[in-house]
Amino acid sequence: MISNEHFAPETAQVQGNTKVREPIRFIIKDAVQGNATVREPIRFIIKDAVQGNTKVREPIRFIIKDAVQDNTKVREPIRFIIKDAVQGNATVREPIRFIIKDAVQGNAKVREPIRFIIKDAVQGNTKVREPLDLL
């Protein structure tokens, strides 16, 4: 159900020389696509969430894009571990939380909440001290 593209370096949540002192909130698309029926929450966990020269003092939670696609029926929670959530020279002092835009598209029925976190949330030489709400 998950292809190798989810394990590509492009899945980095935070990269470059980045300092994050406040939660960052995003809304991402294409969480569930295709002909999918989801009756239970889908939760994901990130593998290698921190790498490089990084200090993390609070939990980081992520959910991935295109977690469920094609003609799929999901009746139980699905748990995954994804890599490269945080990379580069990053300092993270607060949780980073993400929300998905267009989490359901195509011919999909969703009866329970779906929570996701997506790639490339923060990159470059960036200092973030306030929440970011991106649509």
Radius of gyration of the chain (CA): 15
Q: Per residue of the chain (135 residues), give pLDDT as tens.
A: 444 344 333 344 455 555 655 444 433 334 455 555 655 555 444 333 444 455 555 544 444 444 444 455 655 544 443 333 444 555 555 544 443 333 444 455 555 544 444 433 444 444 544 444 443
pTM over 0.85: no
Residue 130, Cβ density class (10 Å: 0-12 exposed, 13-18 middle, ≥19 buried): exposed
Which residues, 6 or more positions from 111, have their beta carbon under 8 angstroms from its beta carbon?
Answer: 38, 39
Domain ranges of the chain: 1-121
Tell me, letter by letter, the H, E, C secondary structure of the chain. Answer: CCCHHHHCHHHCCECCCEEECCCCEEECCCCECCCEEECCCECCEECCCECCCEEECCCCCCCCCCCECCCEEECCCCCCEECCCECCCEEECCCCCCECCCCECCCEEECCCECCCCCCCECCCEEECCCCEEC
